[in-house]
């Protein structure tokens, strides 16, 4: 038997009908953490950095400036839970009455799909951005897992397959034991709106950090440089090795390599570091999740891809955020040492 929901939803869009909002199909919604005002620390950068920006990512220049400005009492929306009934999960997409919610890129084409034969109940904690980027999985989805444990009647579930490397070890250390699914029908499904840095989310961030650093003999470090190299989407810092070496020699930093160091070595180094430095990207999530509150994340960014997406996460982990905008493009750029040194001085002045 085939499910007609995918074709119904596509036909509604083709005929110009208003697309049903997926979350309107919820049979119950509840507030996990109320709306509140949260102090957002300003970002740290040199006064001339705005002039270096050629292009932004994940938001326009006004968004970048607002994030870097901070806010003494930013209105922060609530964390919400939603309960649904009679939902199909097919090829990475949730289908409810008149609405779709995409969690993965489709792998199949066609207007109909086999209706799932297995029926379950559970709480999905994964997200589109978490399935796309490792950093968002570690710093967003793993926080939502804590909600799935506490708020849902069914098991935490995910469509992510069993993976090795850093992800498998983080799942073990954080106590993530989800039920892994393929195409299924949910008799009852719980989802969360959990991207707002309110008290609940910030507390869960510290709980996850505590799980990672528990019973480790952490040795204080001035800072850690996380070497990106050619990993992930292209962001080639041409003098990355030179910067790593000078930070080691002149500031006492330790360099970590995402393709060589395991999760435990990352945690043990970052867990007592005052600063994490590196090319802006998901590899810095290893530092954010382990670095203590009050530490600073310093991102080195190409002029054509400037973003404050990681600042939203350091705000959650109660850390400071800084950036240096280099010269060149994501395919090849440089950060001059003098510019980096002056930014480090600025960070030291604001965090004595």
3-state secondary structure of 121: strand
Distance separating alpha carbons of residues 151 and 335, to the nearest angstrom: 46
- The full 3-state SS of 17-65, as one line of letters, equals CCCCCHHHHCCEEEEEECCEEEEECCCECCCCHHHHCCCECCCCHHHHH
Mean pLDDT in residue range 29-46: 96
Q: What b/e readout covers 288-321, taking b as 16+ CB neighbours within 10 angstroms?
A: bbbbbeebbbbbbbbbbbbbbbbbbbbbbbbbbb
Please give the pLDDT value at position 229.
Answer: 84
pLDDT for residue 152: 65
Q: What are phi and psi of 272, to 5 degrees?
A: -130, 25
Helix (H, G, I), strand (E, B) or coil at 118: coil
Nearest Cα to 126, choosing from 191, 188, 29? 191
- Give per-residue burial for 113-122: e unless 16+ CB within 10 Å, then b: beebeeebbb
What's the confidence (pLDDT) of residue 7?
A: 44
Assess whether pLDDT exceeds 70 at residue 153.
Answer: no
> Mind listing the domains of the chain with CATH numbers?
2-30+78-211 (no CATH), 39-75+218-350 (3.40.50)
Inform me whether the pLDDT recorded for 18 exceeds 50: no
Q: Is the pLDDT of residue 151 over 80?
A: no
Average pLDDT of span 15-30: 73
- Give me the helices (H) in the chain, please: 5-14, 49-52, 61-69, 128-132, 134-136, 142-151, 165-174, 199-213, 240-251, 263-270, 285-290, 309-316, 337-350
Q: What pLDDT sits at residue 11?
A: 41
**CA-based radius of gyration for the chain:** 22
Residue 290 pLDDT > 50, yes or no?
yes
- Indicate if the alpha-carbon torsion angle 228, 105, 94, 14 is positive or negative: positive
- Residue 257 above 70 pLDDT? yes
What is the structure's pLDDT at 164?
A: 86
Q: What is the per-residue pLDDT for 17?
A: 38
pLDDT one-digit tens code per residue, 59-94: 899 999 999 999 999 999 999 999 999 999 999 999
pLDDT-based confidence at 10, cuts 50/70/90? very low
Q: What is the pLDDT of residues 304-338, one digit of tens each?
A: 999 999 999 999 999 999 999 999 999 999 999 99
pLDDT of 9: 46
- pLDDT for 61: 94
Q: Is residue 1's pLDDT more than 70?
A: no
- Mean pLDDT within 36-48: 96
Q: What is the pTM of this model?
A: 0.91
Buried b (16+ CB within 10 A) or exposed e, 85-112: eebbbbbbbbbbebbbbebeeeeeeeee
**Would you tell me the crossing angle of helices 165-174 and 263-270 to the nearest 10 degrees?**
60
The arithmetic mean of pLDDT across residues 257-279, rounded, is 96
pLDDT at 111: 63
Determine what percent of the chain is predicted with pLDDT higher than 90. Answer: 82
Task: Determine the pLDDT at residue 110.
Answer: 63
Q: Say yes or no to pLDDT of 19 above 90.
A: no
Residue 44 has pLDDT above 70, yes or no: yes
Average pLDDT, the chain: 91
Q: How many CA atoms does the CB half-sphere of 32 hold within 13 Å? A: 27
| Residue 194 pLDDT exceeds 90 | yes
């Amino acid at each position: 038997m085939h499910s007609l929901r995918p074709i119904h939803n596509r036909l509604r869009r083709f005929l110009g009908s208003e697309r049903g909002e997926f979350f309107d199909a919820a049979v119950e919604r509840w507030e996990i953490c109320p709306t509140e005002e949260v102090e957002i620390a300003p970002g740290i950068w040199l006064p001339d950095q705005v002039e270096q920006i050629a292009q932004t990512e994940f938001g326009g220049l006004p968004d970048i400036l607002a994030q870097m400005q901070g806010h003494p009492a930013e209105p922060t929306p609530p964390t919400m839970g939603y309960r649904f009934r009679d939902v199909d999960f097919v090829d990475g997409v949730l289908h409810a009455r008149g609405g779709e919610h995409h969690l993965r890129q489709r792998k199949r084409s066609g207007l109909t799909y086999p209706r799932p034969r297995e029926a379950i109940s559970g709480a999905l904690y994964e997200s589109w951005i978490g399935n796309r980027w490792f950093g968002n999985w570690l710093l967003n989805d793993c926080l939502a897992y804590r909600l799935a444990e506490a708020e849902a009647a069914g098991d935490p579930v995910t469509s992510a397959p069993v993976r090795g490397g850093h992800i498998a070890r983080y799942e073990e250390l954080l106590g993530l034991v989800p039920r892994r699914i393929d195409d299924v029908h949910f008799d009852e499904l719980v989802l969360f709106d959990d991207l707002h840095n309110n008290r609940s989310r910030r507390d869960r961030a510290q709980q996850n950090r505590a799980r990672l650093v528990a019973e480790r003999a952490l040795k204080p470090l001035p800072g850690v440089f996380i070497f990106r190299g050619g990993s992930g989407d292209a962001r080639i810092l041409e003098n990355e090795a030179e910067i790593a070496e000078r930070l080691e020699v002149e500031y006492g930093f330790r360099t970590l390599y995402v393709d060589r160091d395991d999760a435990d070595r990352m945690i043990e180094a970052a867990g007592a570091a005052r600063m994490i430095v590196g090319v802006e990207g998901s590899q810095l999530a290893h530092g954010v999740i382990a670095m203590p509150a009050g530490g600073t994340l310093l991102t080195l960014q190409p002029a054509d891809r400037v973003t404050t997406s990681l600042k939203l996460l350091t705000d959650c982990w109660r850390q400071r955020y800084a950036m240096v905008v280099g010269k060149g493009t994501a395919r090849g750029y440089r950060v001059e040492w003098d510019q980096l040194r002056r930014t480090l001085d600025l960070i030291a002045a604001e965090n004595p």
